[in-house]
Amino acid sequence: MVILITGASHTGKTVLAQRMLEKYQYPYLSIDHLKMGLIRSGNTELTPEDDDKLTEYLWPVVREMVKTAIENQQNLIVEGCYIPYEWRKDFDAAYLPNIRFICLSMSKNYIASHFAEIINHGNDIEKRIDDSYCTKEWLTQENERIMNGFRQVGEQVVFIDDYYERAIGTLFENANG
């Protein structure tokens, strides 16, 4: 089983991946690690701010890693925001039953009432050097953009509107299928 976890910045993708690793013993790949490795090694002139171009650049690599894991009957969690809305078109029907897709999105009300918590949890797994870009307005816009993009192509979105723990808790019930 390959689990793809995506969503806007600060939605808890990495926390969820870490918890799934701990519970199911599935290794996970952070697309951010791949991104920074390619940027720091000089293998691309893209920067961390080139989000749309990074999706185009990184997805073909990640997509083939997912196929390889499935072909080798290996479990893998892939987490990051560089998963395109129409990711399913890149997989033959034989692969899709082996992929579980999770998109996390926070409501405007959740962001407004939990913003300090969201920012404080930003360093739970990874250490963010600069979070100054992350305002309530920006976070609200990003969550709406990501949610609308995935919903437009028919993907389900885990909508976090009241309690984060309750929203992600249901994801563990079906991790194996």
CA 162 from chain centre, in angstroms, equals 20
Average pLDDT over residues 146-172: 91
DSSP-assigned letters across all residues of 121-167: GGGSSS--S--TT--HHHHHHHHHHHHHHHHHTT---EEESS-HHHH
Q: Percentage of residues in the chain with pLDDT exceeding 70? A: 89
So what's the pLDDT on residue 106?
95
Query: Helices marked H in 3-77 — which ranges?
Result: 13-24, 31-40, 51-71
Q: Mind listing the pLDDT tens digit for each residue in 70-98?
A: 999 999 999 999 999 999 999 999 999 99
So what's the pLDDT on residue 116?
82
Q: Mind listing the pLDDT tens digit for each residue in 92-109?
A: 999 999 999 999 999 999
Average pLDDT over residues 35-58: 94
* Whole-number Cα distances in Å, 123 to 33, 64, 170: 15, 30, 23
Give residue 133's pLDDT band: very low, low, confident or very high (50, 70, 90).
low
Burial class (CB in 10 A: 0-12, 13-18, 19+), 98: middle
Q: In a 3-state reduction of DSSP, which class is residue 77? A: strand
Whole-angstrom Cα distance, residue 49 to residue 99?
A: 28
* Whole-number Cα distances in Å, 12 to 27, 51, 114, 140: 17, 18, 13, 15
Whole-angstrom Cα distance, residue 162 to residue 177?
A: 26
Angle at 149 between CA 98 and CA 66, to 5 degrees: 25
Q: At what angle do helices 51-71 and 31-40 cross, to 10 degrees?
A: 120
